Amino acid sequence: MNPFKYGSIVLGKNFCGRKDLLKQIAAHMEASQNIVVIGERRIGKSSLVYEAVRKLKGTDILYMDLLGIKSVDALCKRMLRAIVTLEKKASWTAKIIQTLAYLRPTISVDPITSMPVVTFDASVELKADSIQEVLDLIESLAQKKRFMVVFDEFQDILKIKEADEAIALLRSKIQFHSNIPYVFVGSIRHKMDEIFISPNSAFFKSAIPITLDPLPVEEFSKFLIKKFESGKRKVLPDTLTHVFNIANNVTGDIQQLCEVLWEVTSVNDAVSPDNLKAALELIFTREQKSYEAFVSLLTDFQFKCLSALARESGKSVYSMDFVKAVGLHSTASVNRAITRMIDINILFKSGKEIRFVNPFFKAWLLPRGR
C-alpha cells in the first residue's frame, strides 16, 4: 500500500517531527492560553493542532472550519453543527434544541458516519447576536468537559459582510472564557496579521502566535526514505533534493510528489531523479482538468505573465526585466494581471515573492508557456 498521505490530516506514525511545537501547544492548552497558528497552504497546520490534541489524552476538540463562509448565519450554523458533533449526549441535544428553539433544529444520525447531524430551518437567518449565544453554549459545555476550540481557516471571517462586528463579538465573549483554550489557524499571512497584529483589530495581541515553517529537510528526508524502504524501494541521492525543490519545501506537496514516485516504481527499484518525469506526468494526468480550467479564466496577457512567472520565478514581477519579458506593457498592467491571479487563487504573495499556489501547475505550464 502506498505509504504517502496528502490532502488530509496526518497523525501518529504518519506525522513527522515538530516536537518542540507540539510541546509548546500542549503547554498553552494546559494554561488555557489562546494561540494563533499561521503558515502557508499545505504546510501542516491542521495536522499539528490535531496531533497536539491527540497526544494530550482526555482532551477533545471542537473544530470549526470557516473556509468559504460568507455570512454571520453560516458562521453560527457551522459553530452549532460542531457543538452537536462534539457532545452527543441526549441531555445536551435537548439543551441545544431548547436554546435554539426559534431555529427549529432537527437532529438526526448520519447513516454513514453514525455522527449526529443538526439541520436548521433554512428560512430563519441567524444575526450577529447569535454569535454570543453560540459562545455561551460553548462556555456551558466547557464546564462539563475539557476541550480545545479550533477555528481553522480563520482568515475567511474577513469575507463576511459584517466582518468587523462578527470579530468584535467573538472577541468580547472569548476574552472571558479563561478556561477554554482557543486556537485560530490561518493560511494567508497578511490577512491573519490584519486580525491579530493590526492595533485596530479586536483580536490585537489576544493570542500567542506560532508560525509554521517547512519541516527541516534532513528530518523529513529520513522520514520519507523510511516510507520508501517499507516498500523495498531505495532512494538514490539527489532524488529528494529535486522533490523538495519542485515542491518548494511545502510538506503536503512533497508527500504528493512522493506518492506518485511510489506509484511509478516497484519493489526493489531504486527511486532516482530519472523517475521524476513519469511521476510528474501522473500528477498532470490527474490534475489536467483543473489546470485547463484555470487557464480558461485568464486573458492572453494574464497567461503571458503567468508563463513568464513560471520561467523567471524568483525575479521581481515588478522589475523592468519582467515587464520586458511579457512584452511592451506597463508595470501597472502587470500589477493588475498578478492581482487578478492572486484573487482567483492561482498565485499568492510570500514575502516579496509571488508564487504559484500549486507547484505542479507551474511545472505543467513551463513547456506550454508562450
Ligand X SMILES: Nc1ncnc2c1ncn2[C@@H]1O[C@H](COP(=O)(O)OP(=O)(O)OP(=O)(O)O)[C@@H](O)[C@H]1O
Catalog residues that contact Mg ion under the rule CB under 5 A.
46
- Closer to ligand X by CB, 46 or 130: give it: 46
In degrees, to the nearest 5, what angle opens at C-alpha 38 toward C-alphas 338 and 169?
100
CB of 18 to ligand X, least distance (A): 5
Q: How far is CA 175 from CA 32, 49, 139, 261, in A?
A: 11, 21, 12, 48
Phi, psi of 336 (to 5 degrees): -65, -40
Residue 369 contact among Mg ion, ligand X, none, beta carbon within 5 to 8 Å by kind: none
Q: From residue 22, give the alpha-carbon distance in Å to each of 29, 47, 148, 256.
A: 10, 11, 14, 24
18/304 with CB nearer ligand X: 18
State residue 347 phi and psi, 5-degree precision: -120, 160
Site for ligand X (CB under 6 A): which residue of 5, 28, 233, 362?
Answer: 5
**Least distance CB 253 / Mg ion (angstroms):** 14
Q: Cβ contacts of residue 89 below 8 Å, gap of 6+?
A: none
Question: What's the maximum distance between 2 C-alpha atoms anywhere in the chain?
Answer: 69
CB 188 to ligand X: min, Å: 10
- Nearest-approach distance from CB 263 to ligand X, in angstroms: 15
String marking each residue 251-290 x if it binds ligand X according to CB under 6 A = xx--x-----------------------------------
Q: Among residues 17 and 116, whose Cβ is nearest to ligand X?
A: 17
Backbone angles phi, psi at 305, to 5 degrees: -65, -40
Cβ(103)–Cβ(121) below 8 Å:
yes
Using Cβ positions, the residue closest to ligand X within the complex turns out to be: 44
83 makes contact with ligand X (CB under 6 A): no
Q: What is the closest distance, in whole angstroms, from the C-beta atom of residue 337 to ligand X in the complex? A: 25
The Cα 315–Cα 102 span in angstroms is 57
42 vs 304, beta carbon nearer ligand X: 42
- Could you tell which of ligand X, Mg ion, none binds residue 252, using a CB distance below 5 to 8 A set by kind? ligand X
Please state the closest distance from residue 152 (CB atom) to Mg ion, in A: 5
- The count of other CB atoms within 10 Å of the CB of residue 266 is 10
- For ligand X, the binding residues in 28-67 under the rule CB under 6 A are 39, 41-47
CA-angle at 46, arms to 45 and 50, nearest 5°: 120
Residues 160-189 that bind ligand X (CB under 6 A): 187
Contact positions vs ligand X (CB under 6 A): 5-10, 15-18, 39, 41-47, 187, 251-252, 255
